[in-house]
Structure 1
Amino acid sequence: MVKAILHKNDLKKGLYLIPTPIGNLGDISFRAIEILKNSDFILCEDTRVSKKLLDKFEIKTNLISNHKFNENKNLSKVVNFLKENKLVSLISDAGTPGISDPGAVLINECIKQDISIIPLPGPSAVTTAVSASGFDEKYLFYGFFPEKEKLIVEELEKFSNHNFCIVFFISPKKINKIIPYLKTYFKDRKILICREISKYYEEYLRSDIKNLKLFENEPKGELTIVISEKQIDKKTSQGISESDKNSINKMLNKLSTKEITNIIAQYSNVSKKEIYEYCVKIKNEK
């Protein structure tokens, strides 16, 4: 068992954002345990879920239920605690608070009132999934999609125009509804579906999206999805289009050759080398 090595007086007063394990309870950090032990109050989503973690590490701190339905009601009380120099920690059921979890309301109020916010690094389904994907390191994180199917489709269509990896969360009830749209808008990309990350039955399903099949049975637990960057076949390049050439000419006096190359390459089916060489050629002609 981890014994206390810090004293409350050694800790900076303010709001601590404490990541908690997304599966395996052993993933919590020593520092997180120490701060939770020394906190005056811990704000949590579900006291029943958080109590399992706190009991595991013999943390006796007072719990306050703080979820999306009552965080506004709690706000003045918690801010008063912080102004009285109480040490308050914010946790979610799993992962980093404020990332697709409650927390933004309190964090923004602390920013407004110049109350210290101290975030700890720690477990995150997003970075865990991206690290295992083997895809490009540049990614966009969305979180959970809207409830209405029409809005989900609009968002997917919008993302399909970006040449970045895309990470999002989805409930097991919705995954089969969204797969046909993934095959429509991302058919030439790859996908990683992460289930039960860091738990005993964790599973990482990899596939080309065009070959993706519906789940026969509803998977257990929330899913973290990573879609790869665009799979561009350089052999199909037809050269730099006239519209891209016009864009390049407009940017030449404002941006560096490297910056222009990166911008055009995001949506063009042309290699960076070809774009770069064209930029250099045009610059030399001026």
Structure 2
Amino acid sequence: MPDSSLQPELQAGALYLVGTPIGNLEDITFRAVRVLNTVDLIAAEDTRHTGKLLQHFQIQTSQVSYHDHNTQQRIPELIAHLTEGKTLALVTDAGMPGISDPGYELVCACVQQGLTVIPIPGPSAVVTALAVAALPTDRFVFEGFLPAKGKARRDRITALQTESRTILLYESPHRLLQTLTDLATTLSPERPVTLARELTKRYEEFWRGTLADAIAHCTTVPPRGEFTIAIAGAPVSNPVLSEAAILDELKALMQQGLSRSEASRQLAQGTRFSRREVYQLSLRLSDG
């Protein structure tokens, strides 16, 4: 159960990863506001963008920039700040720091130095889009932004061809149509997809269909805003094995030390046979 007791005192020398709204400012937590108000310094991806958030909540904590282009210079400075016993909050322009941004590198540097890193949970575009995508949520994979072009892009999309988990991507409006086209070509035009646009903002929109339908939609309706794409995983097809092949597989598993029941359960998960059917077949094998 959640701890209802407040902890107004921050931990000296700790880095706080503070989740911030992905659009709607009402999505910030009380704890996030308290931490941002209390830390000695805020490291922000874009100080102007974060400045608007701080102004809205009347937070006057000083900021310093921390982004893709100044990590090598800034990380030693921030580590020194923390080793002096001061507190630091890391924020990104939207969502949880460290997800598709250089916050990962700062976290690694802190861990290597034995410094404390404390997460302050907040909104995430990935989870928000997944929750309403109407696609399986029990297993999913987040791919961030695909490589922009070339072999790296082709290889990444090809690797997704057999991915059975729901796939989540980020994409910008000017590259969305090309990405949908590349995905349809490699995965399948009939693969189900959900396009989540401008999450939690005024023009939030969810579009659902196939990749082929999505291409047609985005051809007639020019994409606007930032997108999170949720794509159905590849269908899982169970191999058709003969009874003789099943017996061979069972024999191999049992020789590895699995019991008759354990071997039957494991093998049934990857075939058209039920566990009971596989177990019945296993009775043809001697325990030896």
TM range (shorter): 0.7 to 0.9
Deviations 1:210-263 (A, max 9, x none): 43324235422221000113346x8xx78337998566664454664444444x
Deviation at 1:187, TM superposition (A): 3.2
CA distance, structure 2, for counterparts of residue 243 and residue 80 of structure 1: 66
Aligned to 1:267: none
Deviation at 1:174, TM superposition (A): 1.3
Query: Does 214-223 or 33-42 show the bigger shift?
Result: 214-223
Deviations 1:129-180 (A, max 9, x none): 1110121121011111112243222211211112110111111121111222
CA distance, structure 2, for counterparts of residue 249 and residue 98 of structure 1: 47
Deviation at 1:90, TM superposition (A): 0.2
> Structure 1 residues 20, 250: CA separation in 2 closer, same or farther (over 3 Å shift)?
farther
Counterpart mapping for 1:203-282 below 5 A: 203-214=205-216, 215-216=218-219, 217-231=221-235, 239-240=240-241, 245=246, 250-251=252-253, 253=256, 256=262, 257-262=264-269, 264=270, 271=272, 274=273, 276-277=275-276, 279-282=278-281
Aligned to 1:284: 283
Aligned to 2:155: 154
Aligned to 1:178: 179
Deviation at 1:27, TM superposition (A): 0.4
Deviation at 1:189, TM superposition (A): 2.4
Aligned to 1:199: 201
CA distance, structure 2, for counterparts of residue 248 and residue 158 of structure 1: 31
CA distance, structure 2, for counterparts of residue 247 and residue 159 of structure 1: 29
Deviation at 1:285, TM superposition (A): 2.9
Secondary structure (helix, strand or coil) at the match of 1:77 reads helix
Tell me the percent identity: 32
Asked if 2 retains the 8 angstrom alpha-carbon contact of 1:141 and 1:167, the reply is yes
Secondary structure (helix, strand or coil) at the match of 1:107 reads helix
CA distance, structure 2, for counterparts of residue 120 and residue 44 of structure 1: 15
TM-score under structure 1 normalisation? 0.85
Over the residues paired in the alignment, what is the CA RMSD in angstroms?
Answer: 2.5
Aligned to 1:143: 144
Counterpart mapping for 1:1-286 below 5 A: 7=8, 10-13=9-12, 14-137=14-137, 138-184=139-185, 185-214=187-216, 215-216=218-219, 217-231=221-235, 239-240=240-241, 245=246, 250-251=252-253, 253=256, 256=262, 257-262=264-269, 264=270, 271=272, 274=273, 276-277=275-276, 279-286=278-285
Asked if 1 retains the 8 angstrom alpha-carbon contact of 2:10 and 2:39, the reply is no
Structure 1: 5+ residue runs without aligned partners?
Answer: 265-269
Bigger Rg over Cα: 2
CA distance, structure 2, for counterparts of residue 198 and residue 276 of structure 1: 45
CA distance, structure 1, for counterparts of residue 189 and residue 244 of structure 2: 26
TM-score under structure 2 normalisation? 0.84
What one-letter code is carried by the residue in structure 1 that aligns with 2:168?
V
CA distance, structure 2, for counterparts of residue 182 and residue 276 of structure 1: 36
CA distance, structure 2, for counterparts of residue 221 and residue 275 of structure 1: 48
Equivalences, count = 269
Secondary structure (helix, strand or coil) at the match of 2:168 reads strand
CA distance, structure 1, for counterparts of residue 21 and residue 245 of structure 2: 47
Deviations 1:37-62 (A, max 9, x none): 00100000111100010000000001
What one-letter code is carried by the residue in structure 2 that aligns with 1:201?
Y
> Structure 1 residues 57, 231: CA separation in 2 closer, same or farther (over 3 Å shift)?
same
Aligned to 2:3: none
CA distance, structure 1, for counterparts of residue 211 and residue 244 of structure 2: 30
